[in-house]
Structure 1
Amino acid sequence: MALAEPLTASELPARFSVLLPVYAGDTPERVRRAVESNTVEQTRPPAELVVVQDGPVAPELDAELERIARESPVPVRLVRIPQNRGLAHALRTALPLCAYDVVARADADDVAYPERFERQLPLVEGGADLVGSAMHEIGDDETRPVALRTAPVGAERIAAVSRRRNPISHPTVVLRRSAVERVGGYEDAPMAEDYWLWARMLHAGADVRNVAEPLVGYRVSAGSYERRGGYRVLRAELALQARLRALGHVGFLQWATNVMVRGGYRFVPVRVREAAYRLMVGRRHD
Structure 2
Amino acid sequence: MHERLSLLLPVWERDRPDFLDAAFRSTVLDQTRRPDHVVIVRDGPVPAVLADRIADLAATSPVAVDVVELDRNVGLGPALDIGLTACRHDVVARMDADDISLPQRFAVQMPIVEAGADIVGSGLLEFGEGADDVVGRRIPPTDPDDIRARSRFADPFNHPTVVYRRACVQAVGGYGDFALMEDYLLWAKMIAAGAQVANVAEPLVLYRVGAGAYRRRGGLAQLRTELGLQRRLHDLGFTTTSQYVRNVVVRGGYRLVPEGVRRVAYRRLVAPYGDRKGAAAQH
**TM-score, length of structure 1 as denominator length:** 0.94
d(CA) in 2 for partners of 1:102, 1:67: 25
- Further displaced range: 21-30 or 66-75: 66-75
Counterpart check, 1:66 vs 2:55: yes
Alignment gaps of 5+ in structure 1: 1-10
Q: Distance in 1 between matches of 2:55 and 2:35?
A: 19
Q: Cα offset for 1:140?
A: 2.1
1:146 is aligned, of 116, 135, 139, to: 135
Unaligned runs of 5+ in 2: none
SS at match of 2:29: coil
Q: CA deviation at 1:136?
A: 0.5
| Residue 235 (1) aligns with residue 228 (2) | no
Match in the other structure for 1:85? 74
Shift of 1:143: 1.9
CA contact (8 A) 2:13 2:44 kept: yes
2:76–2:179 CA contact under 8 A, matched in 1: no
> Is the partner of 1:147 in helix, strand or coil?
strand
Q: Which of 229, 253, 257 matches 1:264?
A: 253
| 2:129 is equivalent to residue 102 of structure 1 | no
How many percent of aligned residue pairs carry the same amino acid? 49
1:193 equivalent in structure 2: 182
Matching residue of 2:15 = 26
Name the counterpart of 2:162: 173
Q: Distance in 1 between matches of 2:264 and 2:99?
A: 23
Which residue of 2 is the match for residue 208 of structure 1? 197
For 1:115-134, list aligned pairs within 5 A: 115-134=104-123
Moved more, 49-58 or 135-144: 135-144
How far the C-alpha of 1:279 sits from its partner, in A, is 2.3
**Cα distance in 2 for residues equivalent to 1:100 and 1:204:** 22
Structure 1 consecutive aligned stretches of length 4 or more whose deviation exceeds 2 Å = 283-286
CA distance, structure 1, for counterparts of residue 133 and residue 211 of structure 2 = 16
Are 2:168 and 1:182 aligned?
no
In 1, distance between residues paired with 2:185 and 2:100? 25
Q: Is the 8 A contact 2:7 2:92 kept in 1?
A: yes
- Residue 31 of structure 1: SS of its match in structure 2? helix
Which deviates the most, 31-40 or 72-81? 72-81
2:33/2:104 contact within 8 Å kept? yes
Name the SS for the 2:10 alignment partner.
strand
Compute the TM-score of the two structures, normalised by the length of structure 2.
0.95
Give the letter for the 1:169 counterpart: N
Contact 2:124/2:202 (8 A) holds in 1: yes
d(CA) in 2 for partners of 1:279 and 1:253? 21
Superimposed CA distance per residue, residues 15-41 of structure 1 (whole angstroms, 9 cap, x where no aligned partner): 101000000110000000000000010
Distance in 1, matches of 2:55 and 2:123, equals: 32
- Structure number with greater Rg is 1
Number of positions where the alignment pairs a residue of Structure 1 with one of Structure 2: 275
SS in 2 for 1:146: strand
